[in-house]
Amino acid sequence: MSIALKVENVNKYFREPEEFHVLTDISFCVNKGEFVPVIGKSGCGKSTLLYLLSTLDTDYQGKIFINDQLLTGESQNNLARFRNENIGFVFQFHFLLPEFTALENVMLPAFKLGKLGREEIEEQAMDKLRELQMDTFANKLSSRLSGGQQQRVAIARALINNPTIIMADEPTGNLDSINTGLVFDIFKELSHQNGITILTVTHDLDFAKSADRVIEMVDGRIKNS
C-alpha cells in the first residue's frame, strides 16, 4: 500500500509570549485511502499538527512528505499550488460564503485552481453535491441551509479539485449525533471506495473508534498510532 503522508521527527515551538515546545518528535505515516482520526485533549497539539501537515504553517523542524513529495522548504507559491491540487479542507466552522449558493461555494476552489472553464466547473460541482445528496439544494443560499447541510456542502467543496487527501479539523464539532454519523459515513466511503486519504482532528471518541486506526496525542507527542 502506498504512503500518502509521511512525517519525520517534526518539532514545533511557539515563541511568544515565551518559548513553548508544542510538538515533540512527531513521526508517523498514513497510507493512501486510510481514514485516520487524530484524538487527544484540548491543548495537546493536534490542531497545530494539522496546520503544519496542511502546509499552512512552515515554521517547524523535521520533514513532511505528501504523495512522496518533500514539502518542507518549498516556497509559499509552490505550497499554495500544491494545496490547491492535492489537499481538501473541512473545518468545524464550514466557512461557506453566506451570500453565495451551495453550488457557488463548491465551485470556488476550482476557479482558484484555474484549470477548467466555468461550465466544466459547474458540472463537476453538481456531481460532488449529488454524491453528498445535496444537489437539490444547489441553488439555495448557504446561509439558509441547516448545519448538517452546510457541512456536506463544505465536504463537496473540499472534493471539487479531486484531492488525494482531505484534512479535517473538528468536522463534527457543531453537529448533532445524526449528522455526525452522516459525516462519518461520507468520510468512510470517500476513503474506502474513492481511495481518498482522510486525516481528521476530533474530540469525538465515538466518531474516531470505528475508523481504520486512531492516532492519539498527549502533551505534544504521539502516544500511539
147 three-class SS: helix
**Cis before residue 17, ω within 30 degrees of 0?**
yes
Give me the number of domains the chain comprises: 1
What's the pLDDT score for residue 129?
Answer: 93
pLDDT digits (tens, 9 = 90+) for 14-26: 887 888 899 999 9
Strand partners, 218: 221
pTM exceeds cut of 0.75: yes
pLDDT digits (tens, 9 = 90+) for 50-78: 989 999 899 999 999 999 999 999 999 99
Q: Is-contact 35 199, C-beta < 8 A?
A: no
Q: Is-contact 54 167, C-beta < 8 A?
A: yes
Q: Is-contact 107 128, C-beta < 8 A?
A: no
pLDDT digits (tens, 9 = 90+) for 165-205: 999 988 877 778 888 888 888 888 889 988 999 999 988 78
What's the pLDDT score for residue 7?
Answer: 95
Residue 203 to residue 169: CA distance in whole angstroms: 10
Host domain of residue 33? 3-224
| Max Cα–Cα distance, the chain, nearest Å | 52
Length of the chain in residues, anyone? 225
Domain CATH number, residue 163: 3.40.50.300
Cell of 97: 460564503
Q: Is-contact 186 132, C-beta < 8 A?
A: yes
